[in-house]
Chain A
Amino acid sequence: NAGVTQTPKFQVLKTGQSMTLQCAQDMNHNSMYWYRQDPGMGLRLIYYSASEGTTDKGEVPNGYNVSRLNKREFSLRLESAAPSQTSVYFCASSDPTGANVLTFGAGSRLTVL
């Protein structure tokens, strides 16, 4: 049981480049989330998907797009990376019983030069 798997673990981009962070969960969870973690800022919600087929903006959606490909997968895309997007990105999912308890991935460290 892998839980929540994120790829890649590390990535270095140049300003203006694009990339996609992948996330998959094997727990049959309905809801999935993308957060970014910055020193002193805590975890900030970028986008979330309450269930397959729906996505909603979080606190800091600008510069990002998401795709809920199916129930298992939720990807985060940076179309034109900026240095302000240097961060650690976490994907999470929550169980379908309504408890909103999150299971997190290991994180993806992104550096934009």
Chain B
Amino acid sequence: AQRVTQPEKLLSVFKGAPVELKCNYSYSGSPELFWYVQYSRQRLQLLLRHISRESIKGFTADLNKGETSFHLKKPFAQEEDSAMYYCALSRSGGYQKVTFGTGTKLQVIP
């Protein structure tokens, strides 16, 4: 079974402070990992995925297969980063189901 764990329901940081949103997964095969974000009154949308290894809005995430983690990081938090963040997992290959974690609410304090 595939499972995603986000241990923090709420993470509060001051503007300009570093951010790390934790994500651990359980899956025996070759996973695809994603971070999705939901800003207030907006639709859930993809933030980044491990395959593309890119930085979006200053966020990065590295897949650590040894620790089965995919933590989301940003060196300097901005107020506009306040949102709900979900880590998600699927099997590699197309047409797979996608499993989400319970989400972490990031609150950036001005």
Asked whether, in the complex, the Cβ of A104 is within 8 Å of the Cβ of B103, the reply is no
Other-chain residue from B32, B97, B99, B100 in contact with A56 (beta carbon distance below 8 A):
B97
Asked whether, in the complex, the Cβ of A42 is within 8 Å of the Cβ of B94, the reply is no
Q: Given A45-B97, A50-B95, A105-B43 in contact, is the A99-B49 Cβ separation under 8 Å?
A: yes
Other-chain residue from B9, B32, B44, B102 in contact with A100 (beta carbon distance below 8 A):
B32
- The A-B contact count (CB < 8 A) is 69
Closest B residue by C-beta to A51: B95
Asked whether, in the complex, the Cβ of B100 is within 8 Å of the Cβ of A44, the reply is yes
Q: Which of A12-20, A33-41, A64-72, A77-85 contacts B (4 or more CB under 8 A)?
A: A33-41
Minimum distance in angstroms from B100 CB to a CB of chain A: 4
Closest B residue by C-beta to A59: B99
Which residues from A are CB-within-8-Å of B29?
A: none
Chain B residues close to A by CB (< 8 Å): 6, 9, 32, 34, 36, 43-46, 49, 51, 86, 88, 90, 93-103
**CB<8 Å pairs between A and B, sample of 30:** A33-B97, A40-B9, A40-B102, A42-B6, A42-B86, A42-B100, A45-B97, A45-B98, A45-B99, A45-B100, A50-B97, A56-B97, A58-B97, A59-B99, A90-B44, A92-B98, A96-B94, A97-B94, A98-B95, A99-B32, A100-B90, A100-B98, A101-B34, A101-B46, A102-B36, A102-B44, A102-B98, A104-B43, A104-B45, A107-B43
